[in-house]
Amino acid sequence: MPLVADEARRRAVGFTRRRFVQGAVSGAALAGLHLWRWPSIAMGGEGGTPILTGNDFKLTIEEIPVNFTGAPGKATAVNGSVPGPLLRWREGQTVTIAVTNRMTETTSIHWHGVRTASGMDGVPGLSFAGIAPGETFVYRIALTQRGTYWYHSHSRFQEQTGLYGPLIIDPKGIDPIGYDREHVVLLSDWTDQDPEVIFSNLKGQSDYYNYHQQTARTFISEAQKKGLGPTVSDRLMWGRMNMAPTDILDVSGATYTYLANGHPPGANWTGLFRPGERVRLRFINGSSMSIFDVRIPNLPMTVVQTDGNDVEPVTVDEFRISVAETYDVIVHPAAAAYTIFAQAEDRTGYARGTLAQREGMTAPVPPMDPRPLRTMVDMGMAMNHSGMNAMEQSNAMPGMEMPPGPQAHEVPAQAAAPPPPMIPAPAQLHRGPQIDNIAPDPGQRLSSPGVGLNDNGRRVLTYADLRARYRGVDPRPPDREIELHLTGNMERFIWGFDGRKFSAAEPIRLKLGERVRIILINDTMMDHPIHLHGLWSELENGHGEFRPYKHTISVKGGERLSYLVSADAPGHWAYHCHLLYHMEAGMFRTVIVS
């Protein structure tokens, strides 16, 4: 059995008896922990759930009644809570997790970003059979990493209905990131609507949840700013493509309530601090379809880790966190209270919390930014010779080169000259039922923070800013390249790789031990967070041998990027877009390492 603090046990028992999440005090709040005392302190806050620590865990998956919005609903819970309990593991140890299914349908848990044997990865039909009703499956994982991760179901839409939770793997020695206190900030999206209905609505009308289409009024406003001729030309171009520049997220605040640690905005989750403390915030995007832009007004954030891997500190005012990504930041709060503000990319809602010196304090909630519009750059057009538009080129890092080459492991950062790139053969794609657009000039957009964030007056993190704190472990150049196009038909809500849905695609086969470069070309205008199970993705972003290691890489519309992969783990691995409804609509492949 896992070790559970007395206070955590008391809170958990109270929550389980209620089996109820009140909208005003909903969910499982994850509060601050003094680093040196974390095994004996509960995750605080109203309706809090326990931290589970140790080496042996028992988790139960079942359906519970909830109320996040003022309307009763049902959620898929872990140990009686949504989100599930925080699991705290330690690098170098081996953990077992016995997961019991008390539902009437098969379930699963995938340990996102955690290196496991293929059979422990938790993808039904691929790496194991799933956990049938009434059965218990025991995961066994030898921990070879540290950092901030999360877990979630990989069974149909259970992730959308609440089956997700935070996961921290502490270092076996001294943490190189020093801090006095920490908080997990788990962002998610909740809907009272049946996910099957959402999926059906999107298949029938892909812009079903987009209530902010362009109108005659917006045409007049746009013409006043840009001129009549450019405005007419722009509208005609979008019309010919049968697309809309207002398509930012497929599912919006029209049905979603955005949560911070299980709390809707009005509930105001609160994380405490004492003046003078160095506070670590572990941000996790555990949503199904929502990309968030995170900032804390009047409090700079120093990014120190992404996807569980340390990076050279970079101080920003704001960062975009795509679905399934994690970012750890350090803050030095001095005032009495600060608002943690995470607005959805399409500006149809936000999640919110507070950093405060005591419970009950609040700080002003900023207004949401204007709703963004996509441009031809998001369609892979209007790129210059370097693959960047003029704005992105002006913001690019001096001396940025692609692709970089590797060196040795865990030595101080130094500059290194990259090898010449290998040019892949172009993929042969054609428009048709599976593909409604082929980007004519996709390019490198790593220096852009993304749609809606350019020129907003704040310092916004970009992928180009991420520099690994240590050199990579594999110094070899790639043996070969694999080029994949991210494709789709927006009107039909069909998604895939290279114009093929999962049901029609062959596996991607890697030879055990080989080194490959994967090149992704996004032929759609939507952002796609691409997750490769079982293997690290080393993003080629101009930092040579100090490429950041990531488990999820968000590819902007019209973007071309690459990363290196060492095929060091045999088995069958999932490879997919982490937008849940995109994955279910076909953007999924199997990678076989043998």
For the segment 324-350, what is each residue's pLDDT rounded down to a tens digit?
999 999 999 998 999 999 999 999 999
Please list the ranges in the chain whose pLDDT falls under 50. Answer: 1-47, 214-216, 219, 238, 383-425
pLDDT value, residue 234: 56
Q: In the numeric block, which tokens belong to residue 381?
A: 């057009």
- Start-to-end CA span in the chain (Å): 36
Cα–chain center distance at 296:
19
Kindly list the distances between the CA atom of residue 4 and the CA atoms of 13, 39, 49, 166, 371, in Å, as whole numbers in the listed order: 12, 8, 10, 16, 44
Kindly list the distances between the CA atom of residue 515 and the CA atoms of 47, 564, 566, in Å, as whole numbers in the listed order: 47, 7, 5
Domains in the chain, CATH or no CATH each: 6-180 (2.60.40.420), 376-400+431-450+462-593 (2.60.40.420)
Kindly list the distances between the CA atom of residue 378 and the CA atoms of 230, 296, 381, in Å, as whole numbers in the listed order: 18, 28, 7
pLDDT value, residue 27: 38
pLDDT value, residue 10: 33
pLDDT value, residue 49: 59
pLDDT value, residue 213: 59
Asked if 77 and 163 count as a contact pair (C-beta separation under 8 A), the reply is yes
Longest dimension (CA), the chain: 69
pLDDT value, residue 222: 58
Across the strands, what pairs with 89?
Answer: 169
Asked if 461 and 470 count as a contact pair (C-beta separation under 8 A), the reply is no
pTM across the whole model? 0.84
Q: For a pLDDT cut of 90, what percent of the chain falls above it? A: 74
Report CA Rg, the chain: 23
pLDDT value, residue 184: 97
Buried/exposed code over 156-166 (b: 16+ C-beta within 10 A; e: otherwise): bbbbbbbbbbb
**CB-based contacts of 235: which residues, under 8 Å, 6+ apart?**
214, 219
Across the strands, what pairs with 390?
Answer: none
- Tokens 């599912």, located at residue: 251
pLDDT value, residue 420: 38
pLDDT value, residue 107: 98
pLDDT value, residue 183: 97
Give the type of residue at 23: G
pLDDT value, residue 225: 67
**Sign of the CA dihedral with 423 first, then 429, 435, and 440 last:** positive
pLDDT value, residue 592: 98
For the segment 147-192, what is each residue's pLDDT rounded down to a tens digit?
999 999 999 999 999 999 999 999 999 999 999 999 999 999 999 9
Q: What whole-number distance in Å separates Cα of residue 251 and Cα of residue 510?
A: 35
pLDDT value, residue 488: 95
Supply angle C-alpha 123, 129, 134, rounded to 5: 110
pLDDT value, residue 380: 87
